[in-house]
Structure 1
């Protein structure tokens, strides 16, 4: 095997392996991002199209729970509030929920410190985004088991002219810090829904209903809700709510794959050069074969299949190398996620359909890279 043939094999092998590893890494990142958002964001969120709030008694919640595929649902109250700790002030999104939401979002698995409860000894407590508490220099004391904040909640229908402050000021014990994704960590404050109702004087009004559902039933549930409520409510799935994030990830994946395929095409020029050198080297043998009656088609097949064998060797090595790296990463976790403290391995998900896609694509490009040069060389020889 000549040096240029070896370069062809190595080039094809490296790009094939890179395609497998990159696609598997993107699959892992997509699943990780999806999990971070889907754990916290409900499968479906229903809000009023006619205002910020709506009367929860106007919707038959028991009927909604009976929709096939619905695991649970939670009434929710969302409001922008101000949190004060010492001399630090920060805006936050207060989310009033019940314990069905706490269970559905696996809050206990996403705690940084503290514990996932929204009531203790009959008093309301809160769980705050990890970065949000850091922003106001707060921490969960191991001695007390909580951090006390001052909550400024906007009063409903408050008139600044009549009141000194349009806010209701209340102390609030934060008993835990949660870690989901950047948005939640920087903004959210979970409180009991009855506490949010009192703070905002909402009565039976709520801002949203969260549906937790089986993944395979999400679209059917949405269709059932749209058919039932029409234009009176905005009904969005978690994927629609975070559409930009998922579309950006998918676009990045496609762009990287296209770049690598382009590099593969460049690497295939080594195969062209290898076949060209082989053709020149065997020119006398070709002339001898022609004197013995070998047809141009027969000579074409010899060199074409030689090119295919070189490509298949590179593809085979690349597949073994790429799959091997992915399996080793999954088993041993050599590469760690940044800022994970060595606790989280970089996620890699190897999918059969991706391997088949890569195998089909690089094989097709290899066939083209072998066919046209050999066809040209054989035609040129016969001229």
Structure 2
């Protein structure tokens, strides 16, 4: 085995720079290196994008949401909120009132989704990280204020003032028992000050306005009814596990959904794109391995006389097979090692210095996130394909021509 390895190493380090075999070997190394590097960089970029998507679509939609299975609302007395708040794995709780409202600012009339929540929601949704302008608060000098999606404010053609009490929007909220009758107003109206603008995702930005729970309750006059209960889960726990545990303590007629279930299409699409890219890059890796097959084949053709000489010295067929097999492994491993080093170097440089910026993102760097499971998958896949690309042509050549050298 050691003799075979040293023979292969000698072939690999041949000093005949003009030799076409050495040129093809170098091309094989470069091809495998680039393919491995591409796998690392592209998957790390997908991880970064996925991290941003998760933040955009799961911060506003909290980890778990409890709703009535049948009705639009339910009386909050049906749930033991203290038990839920202190439930193992639950990190925060907020009541929610949700309703479609009409907003008016001057001559602008816009439909919006009003969500009334407790102040704990601001922490649960990481509002301070998504605030475009203003303060992450429902209160300004004792006055209740609302947080608008940035797109919603643009539709209203208004702005976030320096002081919240300098600008307000008229809310037209439908009453549960409101009817269109002469002398009867089916809407509850109130001017609410603009406290800030939030930037999550397009849907939230264009449609959502968040107000304090007490203010929403006053406008809707629900008298103890709520639309949902929002829960955030401690990072040490799994959302699905907490969801299953909650079903054991919740009364019948309630349904629990995770943030991933509420945005199922987004995450399934992201995962499908990721799988497709992995297959494409592995296919490219396989194509680059054809240079390795060509290199082994041409090396075999050129070294036929050497094979006869080694055979006459007592080397058997299996030992000669190992010579060419190890030659292929040396090329593969060298390309894989260089690709791993180069790929992770590019990722680390992008994370720390941000050479590549995202288009139309106000100068934000393209996101990169490294996962050790991806690295392990890439290394195992590359090594497996490298071994296959080295083994098959070597075994085929000696099976096809074994009569010439070993059965004369």
TM-score range, shorter chain: over 0.9
Q: Which runs of 5+ in 2 are unaligned?
A: 1-13, 15-21, 404-408
2:292 maps to what in 1? 271
CA distance in 2, matches of 1:329, 1:284: 51
1:244 corresponding residue in structure 2? 265
- Picking from 75, 78, 96, the partner of 1:76 is 96
- 2:307 corresponds to which of 267, 271, 286: 286
Q: Distance in 2 between matches of 1:220 and 1:253?
A: 26
Instruction: Quote the offset at 1:146 in angstroms.
Output: 4.7
CA contact (8 A) 2:165 2:193 kept: no
Match of 1:54 among 46, 50, 74: 74
1:348 to 365, 368, 377: 368
Q: 1:53 to 1:143 in 2, by over 3 A?
A: closer
- SS in structure 2 of the partner of residue 74 of structure 1: strand
CA distance in 2, matches of 1:93, 1:66: 30
Q: Report the CA distance shift for 1:55/1:163 in structure 2 as closer, same or farther (over 3 A).
A: farther
Report the counterpart of residue 249 of structure 2 in structure 1: 228
Q: Does 1:133 align with 2:148?
A: no
Please give the alpha-carbon distance, in whole angstroms, between the structure 1 residues aligned to 2:47 and 2:141. Answer: 45
Counterpart in the other structure of 1:325: 346
Partner Cα distance (1:165, 1:11) in 2: 73
Of 231-240 and 363-372, more deviation after overlay is shown by 231-240
| Cα pair distance change 1:163/1:270, threshold 3 Å | farther
Q: How many residues align?
A: 382
- Using the alignment, how far apart are the partners of 1:309 and 1:143 within structure 2? 68
1:321-363 deviations in whole A, cap 9, x for unaligned?
1011011111111112332222x32221222222221111111
Kept after mapping to 2: 8 A contact 1:118/1:126: yes
SS in 2 for 1:170: strand
**Which stretch shows the higher mean deviation, 161-170 or 287-296?**
161-170
Q: Does 1:213 align with 2:233?
A: yes
Instruction: Find the partner of 2:328 among 287, 298, 307.
Output: 307
Map residues 24-43 of structure 1 onto 2, 5 A cutoff.
Answer: 24-43=44-63
Q: Is 1:204 the equivalent of 2:224?
A: yes
How far residue 106 of structure 1 moved from its aligned partner, in angstroms, is: 2.4
- Normalising by structure 1, what TM-score? 0.94
3-state secondary structure, aligned to 2:248: helix
311-320 vs 114-123, which deviates more?
Answer: 114-123
Matching residue of 2:389? 369
Corresponding residue SS for 1:315? helix
